[in-house]
């Protein structure tokens, strides 16, 4: 049985993508070794499943369907910027999502259902949009200066009215995402 990489996500609208493009363009002027996330691939990950087969996909869809009827749509505020794991050792540059009770509740309910299917329960959830990844740079101070400039930037709001089970194909030109199923809130 063939397997595919899968994750559950919230898509980002064009207004947010345009704001993040401004942030990315400023970083690109540094001529550094950042690998930028394609704006069309920007998303907020709710759960990364890794490699699954069609049978596990069916179980995941059933689990999601148990949670969705009790979940109303909600808005997320996208603001701030930062890095993982820390400023001394930068691997990922991100844009933040302001803490939101509806998002946390949705995440916890889904995580509980996924745990019943054998997926590891997450210790904590850090909602963010990955903007770029970095392997090595000699422009760390300049990157941190730009991050500081966008630290309190308000990128906009996302109206969350659906979540999407996606397939991810890794290619030499980056990841290609395909929607497997859309769940309306």
Q: Is residue 155 exposed (0-12), middle (13-18) or buried (19+ Cβ within 10 Å)?
A: buried
Which tokens hold the place of 117?
């299917």
Cα gap 78→72, rounded to integer Å: 19
Question: Residue 159, SS3?
Answer: strand
| Structure-token match 């909600």, residue found | 74
Cis peptide before 173 (omega within 30 of 0): no
Decide: 137 and 32 in contact? Cβ < 8 Å.
yes
Cα–Cα–Cα angle for 159, 163, 169, rounded to 5 degrees:
125
What residues act catalytically? 43, 128
The whole-angstrom separation of Cα 134 and Cα 18 is 22
| ∠ CA 169-184-80, rounded to 5° | 70
Bridge partner residues of 7 (DSSP): 48, 166
């Amino acid at each position: 049985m063939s397997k595919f990489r899968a994750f559950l996500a919230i898509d980002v609208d064009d207004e947010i993508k345009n704001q993040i493009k401004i942030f990315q363009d400023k970083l690109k002027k540094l001529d550094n070794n950042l690998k930028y996330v394609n704006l069309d691939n920007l998303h907020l990950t709710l759960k990364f499943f890794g490699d699954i087969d069609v049978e596990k996909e069916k179980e995941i869809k059933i689990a999601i369907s148990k949670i969705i009827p009790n979940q109303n749509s909600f808005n997320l505020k996208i603001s701030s910027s930062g890095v993982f794991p820390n400023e001394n050792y930068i691997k990922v540059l991100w844009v933040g999502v302001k803490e939101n009770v509806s998002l946390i509740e949705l995440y916890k309910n889904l995580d509980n259902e996924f745990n019943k299917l054998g997926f590891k329960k997450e210790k904590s959830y850090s909602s963010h949009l990955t903007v770029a990844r970095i392997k090595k740079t000699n422009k760390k101070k300049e990157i941190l200066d730009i991050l500081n400039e966008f630290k309190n930037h308000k990128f906009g709001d996302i109206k969350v009215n659906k979540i999407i089970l996606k397939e991810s194909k890794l290619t030499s030109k980056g990841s290609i995402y395909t929607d497997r199923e859309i769940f309306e809130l």
